[in-house]
Structure 1
Amino acid sequence: MSIRQLKTFVAIAEHGTFAAAAEAMALTQSAVSVQVKNIEDEMGRELFDRSKRPPVLNEAGRALVPHARKLITEYDALRDHISDDSAYEGAFRLGSVGSLLTGFIPSVLLTLKERYPRLHIELASGFTSELVTLVDRGALDAAIVSDLKDPPAGLKWMPFLREPLVLIAPPDAPDITPQQLVETYPFIRYVPEASVGKVIDAAIRAAKLKPREQMRLDWIEAIEAMVSAGLGVSVVPARDHLKSARPPVRRMAFGKSTRYRTLGLVERAENETETVSAPLMDTLRAAAEKIAK
C-alpha cells in the first residue's frame, strides 16, 4: 500500500465518510473506494462495516488509524530531510507488457524523469511469462505484468490496476446484443498463451459466448485496428487511459458480471533496487488512481 492510500484512509477516519474524504483529498468517491479496497486486500481483512450507511470503521479499521498516522508522519519527516532525487540514480531495468507501452507507461516514465533526473530506466517489453522469467533470473529489476496469480518463490507481485474486459465491435455495427454481435461477426482472439489471453478466454466461457475465430493476434492495438476496419469483433481490456488515442470501435460490457485483468509490479522479494521500485510503485498507483477518477 502507498502513503497516498494511507492518507486517504486517515482522511475517512477524520472526516467520517468516503464522500467527505474524497472532497478533502481532491479525489472522486470511486477513487477513494479503490484505494480502500487496495488497503483491505493487502491487509487481508475488511476495515469498514459496510452494513451501515455510510460505512463506518470496524474494530480492525480503528486499530489501524494510529499506525497509519505514525507512518504518514515519519514519511513526511523523511521527505523533509532527503531531497527528492538524491537516493535515486543509476540504471533501473524495467519490463512491461506491450499493451501499456502506449499511453500509460510513457506518462509514468515522464513523471519519474521529472522527479528523479539522475535515474535512467532501461525499458523492455514482452509477455508476462517472459518478463517474470527475466525478473527471476535478475536480467530485469522489476516488470509490469498481467494476472500473476502465483508468483514463483522469491518473487513478489504488487497489483495496482484492474481493467474491465469489454467486447469491441466495428463503429458501424448494428445495435444488437453482445451475443448477437459474436454470432454475426468473425472473432479476433488475443493469443491464449498470454496471461491476459487466458483471462479473456475465461470471460468468454463465463459469458457463454460462442465465437467463430478467424484471427489470433498478440497485440491489442492490432486487434482494435482490425475491429475498427470491420473485420470482426473481439474481447480486450478497456484501457481507459487511451480514450483519445485509439481506433474508433464500439465498446460494451458483456456477460452477467464484469471480468477484469489485473496489472501489477513483480520484483524479487530481496531486491537490491527497492529504493527505486518503491517510488515506481507509488507512481504506478497514482497513475491508476487518475484512470479511476
Structure 2
Amino acid sequence: MQIRSLETLVRIAQVQSFSRAAELLNMTLPALSMQMKTLETDLRAALFDRSTRPPQLTPLGRRVADQARRVLAEQDRLTELCASDDGLNGRFNIGIIQTASVRILPRFLADVARTAPGADFRFSSGLSETLGAMVHSGQLDAAIITRAAPDLRGLTYDVIATEPMFIATPLHHADSSLNDLARSLPFIHFTPASGIGKLISRALDHFPAEPQGIVILDSVEASVESVKYGLGYTILPLPDLERYGEGQLHIRRHGDRPMSRDIALITRATAANDTWRGHLLGRLRAAI
C-alpha cells in the first residue's frame, strides 16, 4: 500500500468524482482507476461500487477514506517534527496561474532543489479565482495568482512582483490612435475570466472607443502572435509582450493611466503556515 494511493482515495472522497480527482492530481483517469483497483487488492476490500457511473464509495470505502485522512495528517505531523530551520520541508501543494509559471517555475525549482532538498513541491494550474477558492478550502497550501478580485477573508496576500501592462499593436499601426485602432482592428482579449482578463476588461472600460470586435484567446503566446501578424491589438503584462513579441510589435502605454498587475502568493492565515510562508515568498521573489 502506498501513501500516494491514500492521497488519491481521500481526494476522491472530497470531490465525489474520479474524473475531477484525476484532474486535481494531474493524473489520467485510467491511471487513477488502476491505482484504486490496486488499493482494493492490497486491502482485500471493495472500496467502490462500480455498478454506478461514476463509481461511488461503499460504506466501508468511506470509512477507509476517513482513516486514510488521519494517516495522512499524521504523516504531515511527522514531517513537521523533522522540519529544519529554513521552513521549507515537507509536501507543498501549490497552485499557479499559467501566465506566471513560465517565468517563475524554472528558476524556482532549480533554487529549491539546491536550498530546500527536504521539500516536495506539487504544482497545479488554474484561474486565479479557482486557485484562491482551493487555498481557502484547504485543497492547496498556497497559490500564485493575479490579484484582481476582492481578497478572501482568512487568506494572506503577499505580492511577489508588480508587472506593468501595456498596449501592443502591429508595427504598421505604431502611430494609430486608440480610436483608429478600434475602427480598424479587433481587440485580442486574453481569457476574460482570468485575473489578467479582469484587469484588461477594466482597462477597456476607460478606452475612448469600443473595439469593432473582440477575439477571445486563452493563450498569451497566441495573443501576442496574433498581434504580430496584424490580426488585432491587445493589452498584456510587459514581460509577456517582450518574451513573445521578439521586437515584432509596437508597445505603448495607455496615456496617463498606467496599468499593472500584481502577482501574489496567497496562503491561509494560520500559525502553522507562518513557519514557511516567508521562506517560500523569498524563493519566489528571487525567481521572477
TM-score range, shorter chain: 0.5 to 0.7
Aligned residue number for residue 123 of structure 1: 123
Secondary structure of residue in 2 paired with 1:103: helix
- The question of 1:272 aligning with 2:272 is answered yes
Q: Are the structure 2 counterparts of residues 158 and 271 from structure 1 closer, same or farther at C-alpha, using a change threshold of 3 Å?
A: same
Q: Would the aligned equivalents of 2:149 and 2:195 in 1 still touch at CA under 8 Å?
A: no
For residues 249 and 174 of structure 1, do their structure 2 counterparts lie closer, same or farther at Cα, with a shift above 3 Å needed? closer
| Deviation by residue 1:118-170 (Cα, 9 ceiling, x = unmatched) | 21110111101110111111111000111245322211111232211111122
CA RMSD of aligned residues (A): 2.5
* 2-structure distance, mates of 1:171, 1:90: 49
1: CA distance between counterparts of 2:208 and 2:286?
Answer: 36
What displacement does 1:273 show?
4.1
Paired position in structure 1 for 2:193 = 193
TM-score by length of 2: 0.63
Based on CA coordinates, which of the two structures has the bigger radius of gyration? 2
User: How many Å separate the matches in 2 of 1:128 and 1:271?
Assistant: 24
8 Å Cα contact 1:163/1:239 also seen in 2: yes
**Distance in structure 2 (CA, Å) of the matches to 1:129 and 1:257:** 25
SS in 2 for 1:181: helix
Is the 1:92–1:276 Cα contact (8 Å) retained in structure 2? no
Per-residue CA shift, 1:190-230, capped at 9, x if unaligned? Answer: 23222221211111222324212241112212211221222
Unpaired segments of 5 or more residues in structure 1?
1-82, 289-293
- Contact kept, 8 Å, 1:85 with 1:118, in 2: the verdict is no
- Aligned 8 A contact 1:136 1:155 in 2: yes
Task: Determine the structure 1 residue equivalent to 2:80.
Answer: none
Alignment of structure 1 residues 10-159 onto 2, 5 Å? 87-159=87-159
Shift of 1:109: 2.5
Unaligned runs of 5+ in 2: 1-82
Displacement of 1:178 in angstroms is: 4.1
Q: 1:232–1:271: structure 2 CA closer, same or farther, 3 Å change rule? A: farther
Contact 1:189 1:213 in 2 (8 A): no
Shift of 1:101: 1.6
Report sequence identity in percent: 27
Partner of 1:211: 211
Whether contact under 8 Å (1:87, 1:275) holds in the other structure is yes
Deviations 1:5-43 (A, max 9, x none): xxxxxxxxxxxxxxxxxxxxxxxxxxxxxxxxxxxxxxx
Cα displacement (A) at 1:266:
0.6
Aligned to 1:229: 229
Tell me how far 1:245 sits from its aligned partner.
5.3
Check conservation: 1:154, 1:269, Cα contact below 8 A. yes
Cα distance in 1 between the residues matched to 2:277 and 2:226: 36
Deviation, 1:180, is 2.6
Which deviates further from its counterpart, 127-136 or 179-188? 179-188
2:87–2:279 contact (8 Å) kept in structure 1: no
Return closer, same or farther for 1:229/1:269 CA change in 2, 3 Å cut-off: same
Maintained 8 Å contact 1:171/1:250: yes
The AA in structure 2 aligned to 1:220 is V
* Secondary structure class of the residue paired with 1:111: helix
